[in-house]
Amino acid sequence: GQQLNQSPQSMFIQEGEDVSMNCTSSSIFNTWLWYKQDPGEGPVLLIALYKAGELTSNGRLTAQFGITRKDSFLNISASIPSDVGIYFCAGPVLGGYQKVTFGTGTKLQVIP
C-alpha cells in the first residue's frame, strides 16, 4: 500500500534552531502535502508540492518534493514556541479520487 513513513518520530529543539524532517514512501507520489496539527485541533495545510524537485516556501517553512517522487522534506527555520505540534505529510491515494493518505507524523516540541 501507499504508506508514508516520517522521521524523526519526535524531536525536542531549542527555540531559534532550525528543524528538518522527512517523509518517505515505497510508492511514487505526484503530490506532496504538509500539514500541521495543534493539540486537540484538526490539521492545517502548510505547503503543497506538485512537481518533482520543487522547492516551496511559506514563511519560515520550506518543503521540497524529492526528485525520486518517493520522498519529501520539510524544514523550519528559526523555530519559535508556536511551532509546537505534529507535522504530517500526506499524498493522494492512488486511484482514490480526492482521498489522501497521511504519514506517521513528526511531533515537534520547542524549548523556550
* Residues at the contact surface with other proteins, assessed by CB under 8 A: 31, 33, 40-45, 48, 88, 92, 98-105
Closest approach of Cβ 88 to other proteins, in Å?
7
- In the complex with other proteins, the residue whose CB is nearer, 14 or 41, is 41
Closest approach of Cβ 2 to other proteins, in Å?
12
Cα dist. 10→3, 48, 59, 93, 111 in Å?
18, 22, 22, 25, 13
- In the complex with other proteins, the residue whose CB is nearer, 39 or 112, is 39
Q: Are 9 and 29 in contact (CB under 8 A)?
A: no
Query: Strand pairing of 85-92 and 106-111?
Result: antiparallel
- In the complex with other proteins, the residue whose CB is nearer, 14 or 82, is 82
Place of cell 516551496: 56
Closest approach of Cβ 77 to other proteins, in Å?
25
Closest approach of Cβ 102 to other proteins, in Å?
5
- In the complex with other proteins, the residue whose CB is nearer, 36 or 66, is 36
Cα dist. 95→27, 35, 68, 101 in Å?
13, 22, 20, 12
Task: Write out the three cell numbers for 104.
Answer: 506517521
